[in-house]
């Protein structure tokens, strides 16, 4: 994209002088986010207040340790900011202890392994290809290389999780850690059933709620906190904050979790992100956040219904949360070429493995969609149903470029009606 020097200078008055090349790229990115319909389930738009916190002078501060127990002087303000984030997280989620220092979701999950497991210990978690996460024991992740991870998956008939089958695996393998959570499973999890399984085999229960934390915060999804020993989450995705993470746990596990994060896995926290997390949690405590969370679910269901009406096959046949996974095999098209074509049409998605996928990860049979970003911009059911129809037009055309160009003009026109936050 080519932007005028005036628009770049207006957006970045200092950076445009010191590094005009970078400033131009950042303006291009802002325009991309403005002009396209963003359907990545793990993305969102933060508020202006959160962006201000991310860019504040607290980024200059280095703060190894925890509030009241730092290894550097000059922590009077940082300690207050971190305690503010912790107190708000406790109030929002009802947690006994919260660590807000993990740099992202993967290190947060790794901290749980480090806190409770020894190399070679057995873990029971959801299979990546069935909706789990890399850090739930994929062989491509350190978690699959250093621990004995047994995977559960979807029932072949219902394409949903079967807690009876999960219990049988737990009884057979006796894991030390049982993980519930996902990155591409469109249904609610039965946290009470997972708790019962963990208790029966003497395992700790971890819930990775990175994807649906915002729905939990807004009361649109059951909370895992009353059931789990430890809960990990990112602070972006549906929670609508900066790229960071938190670990929530029972008080009895606080010392182990904190030691695993620092000094176990990282040095100082990113203080500007901690401040932005505090701002995010303040927003999530407001009544209007519950309206947003409920609308995320409503919009995802509308999108799912319209997709199925247009002949798309959805994993589990619908959704209970903010995300949808399309199995494209009945359409005879790969996820990668479709995702690329949709991006040209102004619909930003990601290709994703489908359960029992016989295609390689570089071009799998699935396409993942999510509702949080465009719900934040004000899209409702009408707009999400239109998104499904646009997607169908692109697929049914055989990825015809003239159709893609027409759809791109239409998606751009819709975006102009819904300004960025």
Label residue 82 exposed, middle or buried (CB < 10 Å: 0-12, 13-18, 19+).
buried
Q: Across-strand partners of 174?
A: none
163 is a catalytic site residue: no
CA–CA separation, 244 vs 236, rounded Å? 7
393 catalytically annotated: no
Cis check for the bond before 263: say yes or no (omega within 30 of 0).
Answer: yes
- Active-site entry in 70, 195, 237, 301: 237
> What are phi and psi for residue 150, nearest 5 degrees?
-100, 140
Q: Is the separation of the CB atoms in 214 and 42 below 8 Å?
A: no
CA distance 377 to 417: 10
**237 is known as an active-site residue:** yes
C-alpha closest to that of 273 among 265, 281, 285: 281
Q: Which of 28, 64, 305, 313 is catalytic?
A: 64
DSSP secondary-structure letter at 224? Answer: S
Q: Among residues 32, 34, 83, 243, which one is catalytic?
A: 243
Catalytic entry in 82, 208, 306, 327: 208
209 within 8 A of 185, measured Cβ to Cβ: no
The one catalytic residue in 62, 256, 305, 344 is 62
Tell me the angle at which helices 381-396 and 287-309 cross, rounded to the nearest 10 degrees: 30
Residues of each annotated binding site: 128, 132-134, 252
Sequence length of the chain is 421
Yes or no: say if 41 and 237 are a contact pair by the CB < 8 Å rule.
Answer: yes
Q: What is the distance between the alpha carbons of residues 134 and 353, in angstroms, rounded to a whole number? A: 12
Answer whether 136's CB lies under 8 Å from 179's CB: yes
CA–CA distance, 248 with 223 (Å, rounded to integer): 12
Give, in degrees to the nearest 5, the angle at Cα 292 between 244 and 299.
105
Concerning whether 243 is annotated as a catalytic residue, the answer is yes
Measuring CA to CA, which residue among 385, 180, 409, 220 is closest to residue 299? 385
**Spatial distance between the Cα atoms of 39 and 45, rounded to a whole number of angstroms:** 12
Q: List the binding residues for (6S)-5,6,7,8-tetrahydrofolate.
A: 128, 132-134, 252
Catalytic residue among 163, 233, 234, 376: 234
Q: Is 62 a catalytic site residue? A: yes
User: Is position 72 annotated as part of the catalytic site?
Assistant: no
Which positions are catalytic? 62, 64, 208, 234, 237, 243
């Amino acid at each position: 994209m080519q932007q005028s020097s005036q628009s770049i200078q207006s957006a970045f008055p200092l950076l445009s002088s010191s590094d005009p090349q970078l400033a131009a790229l950042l303006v291009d990115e802002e325009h991309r986010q403005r002009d396209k319909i963003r359907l990545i389930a793990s993305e969102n738009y933060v508020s202006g207040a959160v962006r201000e916190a991310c860019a504040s002078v607290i980024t200059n501060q280095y703060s190894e340790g925890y509030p009241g127990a730092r290894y550097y002087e000059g922590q009077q303000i940082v300690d207050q900011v971190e305690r503010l984030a912790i107190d708000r997280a406790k109030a929002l989620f009802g947690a006994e202890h919260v660590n807000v220092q993990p740099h992202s979701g993967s290190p947060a999950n790794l901290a749980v392994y480090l806190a409770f497991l020894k190399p070679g210990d057995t873990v029971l978690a959801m299979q990546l290809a069935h909706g789990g996460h890399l850090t739930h024991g994929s062989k491509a992740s350190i978690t699959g290389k250093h621990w004995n991870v047994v995977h559960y998956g979807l029932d072949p008939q219902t394409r949903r999780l079967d807690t009876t089958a999960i219990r049988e695996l737990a009884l057979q393998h006796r894991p030390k850690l049982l993980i519930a959570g996902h990155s591409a499973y469109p249904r609610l999890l039965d946290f009470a059933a997972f708790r019962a399984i963990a208790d029966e085999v003497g395992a700790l229960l971890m819930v990775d709620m990175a994807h649906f934390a915002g729905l939990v915060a807004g009361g649109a999804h059951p909370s895992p906190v009353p059931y789990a020993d430890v809960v990990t989450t990112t602070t972006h995705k549906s929670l609508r904050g900066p790229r960071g993470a938190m670990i929530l746990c029972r008080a009895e596990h606080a010392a182990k979790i904190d030691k695993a994060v620092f000094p176990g896995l990282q040095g100082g926290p990113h203080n500007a992100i901690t401040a932005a997390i505090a701002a995010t949690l303040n927003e999530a405590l407001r009544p209007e956040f519950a309206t947003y969370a409920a609308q995320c679910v409503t919009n995802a269901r509308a999108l799912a219904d319209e997709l199925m009406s247009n002949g798309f096959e959805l994993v589990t046949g619908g959704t209970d949360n903010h995300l949808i996974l399309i199995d494209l095999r009945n359409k005879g098209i790969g996820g990668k070429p479709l995702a690329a074509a949709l991006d040209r049409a102004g619909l930003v998605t990601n290709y994703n493995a489908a359960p029992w996928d016989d295609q390689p990860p570089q071009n799998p049979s699935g396409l993942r969609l999510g509702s949080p970003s465009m719900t934040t911009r004000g899209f409702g059911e009408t707009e999400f149903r239109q998104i499904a129809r646009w997607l169908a037009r692109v697929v049914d055309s055989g990825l015809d470029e003239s159709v893609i160009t027409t759809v791109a003009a239409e998606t751009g026109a819709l975006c102009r009606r819904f300004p960025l936050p």
